[in-house]
Structure 1
Amino acid sequence: MNMQTNAPIPGVSADQVVFHRTELNVILSLYGRFVAAGEWRDYGISSLREVAIFSVFRRSAEYPLYRIEKRPKLRNKQGMYAVVGMDGQVLRRGHDLKTVLRVLERKLIRSVDTPD
């Protein structure tokens, strides 16, 4: 995996963790499919000192349904990407973002399938 330092981004200090453009492309692709299915309606991005968080909401005025987290300090341990549920339970953790997001793709398949 190519490790890059945080490039200067307006409004983000150098010691904050941010999602890279390629990571955001993967996340937003999944987000768009859930929006098209009518499951998700809003999102928020937080860049903190030790974690970057992409939060997904059904409505903008409630708690996030899921949080996609990037924690670079866990890179050599459990993996720096995680999907966390509304209750705080880690649904999946790993080193590859696409693999970690599969736990949500399964939910998309179930929501699109309609029983006869």
Structure 2
Amino acid sequence: MTDRGTGSKGDDESAILIPFPESKPQTVLRQVSFERRELETILRLYGRMVAANEWRDYAIDHTTDRAIFSVFRRASETPLFQIVKNPALARKQGAFAVFTGTGQVLKRGQELARVLGVFDKKLRLIEG
């Protein structure tokens, strides 16, 4: 009689042990996100700009290589500005950058507060 790995000598087919294939560790793709203090700094700026009636809506995107905070005048439009965190550029140009809606870089740097200083100069969208 054959041993089916159950420890009993019965012919019960449901008692057969089937080994699962060894699980390989899967590479987990982590998303880049803003840390709590970074998000507090950005939202403080956003609150000031909403109070000044400059911005009215925002969106946050997290991808595998960057985190993006987009600000809008209206939700149905393209973003006025994007605040981007890209850790891959931390040692080169700086992890933080502010882009216009057309993709022009306004400022890059290592420190978020200094990069957001670009908005202290009363940047306004010129419609024409």
Amino acid in the other structure paired with 2:106: L
- Give me the identity figure in percent: 56
Could you tell me which runs of 5 or more consecutive residues in structure 1 were left unpaired when the two chains were aligned: 1-12, 111-116
Tell me by how many angstroms 1:67 deviates: 0.1
Match of 1:9 in 2: none
Q: Residues of 2 paired with 1:50 and 1:24: CA distance?
A: 17
Match of 1:95 in 2: 110
- What do residues 35-75 of structure 1 show as CA deviations (whole Å, max 9, x unaligned)? 00001000000000101000000000000000000000001
Match of 2:10 in 1: none
2:94 and 2:109 in contact (8 A); partners too: yes
Amino acid in the other structure paired with 1:100: V
- Within-5 A mapping of 1:1-116: 15-107=30-122
Amino acid in the other structure paired with 1:64: P
Could you tell me which runs of 5 or more consecutive residues in structure 2 were left unpaired when the two chains were aligned: 1-27
Amino acid in the other structure paired with 1:92: K
* Structure with greater proportional helix content: 1
- TM normalised by structure 2 equals 0.73
**Greater than 6 Å deviation, 4+ residue runs:** none
Larger RCO, structures 1/2 (Cα 8 Å, 6+ apart): 1
Amino acid in the other structure paired with 1:54: F
1:30 and 1:105 in contact (8 A); partners too: no
- TM normalised by structure 1 equals 0.80
SS at match of 1:15: coil
Q: CA RMSD in A?
A: 1.7
Q: Residues of 1 paired with 2:54 and 2:93: CA distance?
A: 29
Q: Residues of 2 paired with 1:104 and 1:67: CA distance?
A: 12
